[in-house]
Structure 1
Amino acid sequence: MARPHTPYRLFAALILMALLAVVFGRLGNWQLDRASERDALKQVMEAGRAQPPLALQADTPSAALQAWRPAQATGTWRHELTVLLENRNFQGKPGYWVATPLLLAGPSHAAVLVLRGWMPRPMRPGESQLPIPAPQGTQTIQGELLDRVPRLFELWSWSDQSATRLPAQLPDSSSPLPKLQNLDLADYAAATGLDLLPTVLAQTQAAAGQENGADPLLREWPDPMLDSDKNRGYALQWFGFMAIAIIVCIGLAWHLLRRVLRPTHK
Structure 2
Amino acid sequence: MSSFRTPDLWRFLLISFAALICTGITASLGFWQLGRAAQKQEIFDAMERQQALAPWGNAELALQVPAVTQILTDSKRKELLHRPAQLQGQWLAEQTVFLENRQMQGKVGFYVLTPFRLAAPHEGAIIIVQRGWALRNFMDRTVLPDVKTPAGTVTIEGRLQAPPSKLMELEGLKSGSGVADSGADPDGQKSLIRQNVDIAQWAQQSRLPLLALSLVETSDNAASQGLLRDWPQINAGVQKHYGYAFQWFGLSVLVVLLYVWFQLVRRFYSPLRKEQFEAPQP
**TM-score, normalised on structure 1?**
0.69
Deviations 1:191-239 (A, max 9, x none): 43332233321111256xxx8x531111121122324233212221123
Note the residue ranges of structure 1 that are not aligned, 5 or more in a row: 1-8, 255-266
Q: Is the 8 A contact 2:185 2:205 kept in 1?
A: yes
After superposition, the Cα gap between the structure-2 partners of 1:217 and 1:38, relative to the gap in structure 1 and judged at 3 Å, is same
Tell me the SS of whatever aligns to 1:46: helix
Counting only pairs closer than 5 Å after superposition, residues 127-138 of structure 1 correspond to structure 2 as 128-138=143-153
Q: Is the 8 A contact 1:88 1:94 kept in 2?
A: yes
Note the residue ranges of structure 2 that are not aligned, 5 or more in a row: 1-10, 66-75, 175-179, 265-282
Cα distance between partner residues in 2 of 1:21 and 1:192: 60
Question: How far 1:112 moved relative to its partner?
Answer: 0.9
Question: Is 1:232 aligned to 2:245, yes or no?
Answer: no
Cα distance between partner residues in 1 of 2:215 and 2:242: 33
**TM-score, normalised on structure 2?**
0.65
The aligned counterpart of 1:81 is 95
Rg larger for? 2
Cα distance between partner residues in 2 of 1:140 and 1:39: 33
Match of 2:109 among 82, 92, 95: 95
Match of 1:144 among 153, 159, 170: 159
Cα distance between partner residues in 1 of 2:12 and 2:98: 59
- Greater CA drift, 16-25 or 98-107: 16-25
The aligned counterpart of 2:52 is 50
Cα distance between partner residues in 2 of 1:222 and 1:173: 31
The aligned counterpart of 2:129 is 114
**Equivalent position amino acid for 2:30 in 1:** G
Question: Is 1:59 aligned to 2:62, yes or no?
Answer: yes
Cα distance between partner residues in 2 of 1:224 and 1:84: 23
Question: How far 1:129 moved relative to its partner?
Answer: 4.1
Q: Is the 8 A contact 1:71 1:145 kept in 2?
A: yes
Deviations 1:5-28 (A, max 9, x none): xxxx99999999888767655653
Cα distance between partner residues in 1 of 2:255 and 2:53: 49
Q: Is the 8 A contact 2:130 2:214 kept in 1?
A: yes
Q: Is the 8 A contact 2:184 2:194 kept in 1?
A: no
Question: How far 1:111 moved relative to its partner?
Answer: 0.7
Counting only pairs closer than 5 Å after superposition, residues 182-221 of structure 1 correspond to structure 2 as 183-206=197-220, 213-221=223-231
CA RMSD in angstroms, aligned pairs only? 4.2
Cα distance between partner residues in 2 of 1:84 and 1:13: 62
Q: Is the 8 A contact 1:166 1:188 kept in 2?
A: no
Question: How far 1:73 moved relative to its partner?
Answer: 1.6
**Equivalent position amino acid for 1:79 in 2:** A
- Greater CA drift, 55-64 or 215-224: 55-64
**Equivalent position amino acid for 2:126 in 1:** A
Cα distance between partner residues in 1 of 2:202 and 2:256: 52
**Equivalent position amino acid for 1:49 in 2:** Q
Task: State how many pairs are aligned.
Answer: 243
Tell me the SS of whatever aligns to 2:146: coil
Q: Which has the higher contact order (CA 8 A, sep 6+)?
A: 1
The aligned counterpart of 1:6 is none
The aligned counterpart of 2:195 is 180
Tell me the SS of whatever aligns to 1:142: strand
Name the structure with the higher helix share.
Answer: 2
Question: How far 1:104 moved relative to its partner?
Answer: 1.5
Cα distance between partner residues in 2 of 1:253 and 1:194: 74
After superposition, the Cα gap between the structure-2 partners of 1:247 and 1:195, relative to the gap in structure 1 and judged at 3 Å, is farther
